[in-house]
Amino acid sequence: MAEGPKKERLARRKARKRALDVLFEADLRDLPPGQVLITYLDRIAKPHPEHMGYATELIEGVAKNLDRIDELIASYAEGWTIDRMPTVDRNLARIAVYELLYVPDVDDPVAITEAVELAKEMSTDDSPRFLNGLLDRIAAFATR
């Protein structure tokens, strides 16, 4: 099933960006994502935007499945260790892999494209191509 109307797609893009903010901070500060999420929610304006529900689902889902997600990323990241990846790329990959494996109403191409688009905005010039290849390989594995 496709994600639906443009409004929902834009809300999910905002949610992915918020999830990236929290996961990035948790990664840099070596803190549990759930702990960072609590302080993040305290810092942002209330009432919280509607898309925070999906952002929270992504953050909690990545945190809950982090070992499996990182294992897949490490297995399919040709020539890269997970620790050597830029922090933004590592966490964009985590969000996308979570969506590929655990969010059935997000089509695989959508999860991949969203990660690539965010990488274009927020990471290095090589990141979009790297993430696209990595996530394509993981998606092919996940659909077997």
Contacts with 75 (C-beta within 8 Å, 6 or more apart), sequence order? none
Q: What is the mean pLDDT of residues 12-19?
A: 96
How many independent structural domains does the chain possess?
A: 1
75: in domain: yes
pLDDT value at position 4?
Answer: 54
121 is in which domain, residue-wise? 6-142
99: in domain: yes
1: in domain: no
Give the least confident one: 4-8, 47-51, 84-88, 106-110.
4-8
pLDDT value at position 141?
Answer: 87
Contact between residue 59 and residue 23 where contact means Cβ atoms under 8 Å apart: yes
137: in domain: yes
pLDDT value at position 104?
Answer: 94
In DSSP notation, 7-55 reads: HHHHHHHHHHHHHHHHHHHHHHHT--HHHHHHHHHHHS-SSPPTTHHHH
pLDDT at 1 exceeding the cut of 50: no
Q: Which two tokens stand for residue 143?
A: 């659909």
95: in domain: yes
Each residue's pLDDT tens digit, 42-91: 999 888 889 999 999 999 999 999 999 999 999 999 888 999 999 999 99
Each residue's pLDDT tens digit, 115-134: 999 999 999 999 999 999 99
**What does pTM read for this prediction?**
0.93
Q: Which of the two residues, 8 and 136, has the higher pLDDT score?
A: 136
| Averaged confidence pLDDT in the chain | 93
61: in domain: yes
Domain holding 97: CATH number? 1.10.940.10
* Stated length of the chain: 144
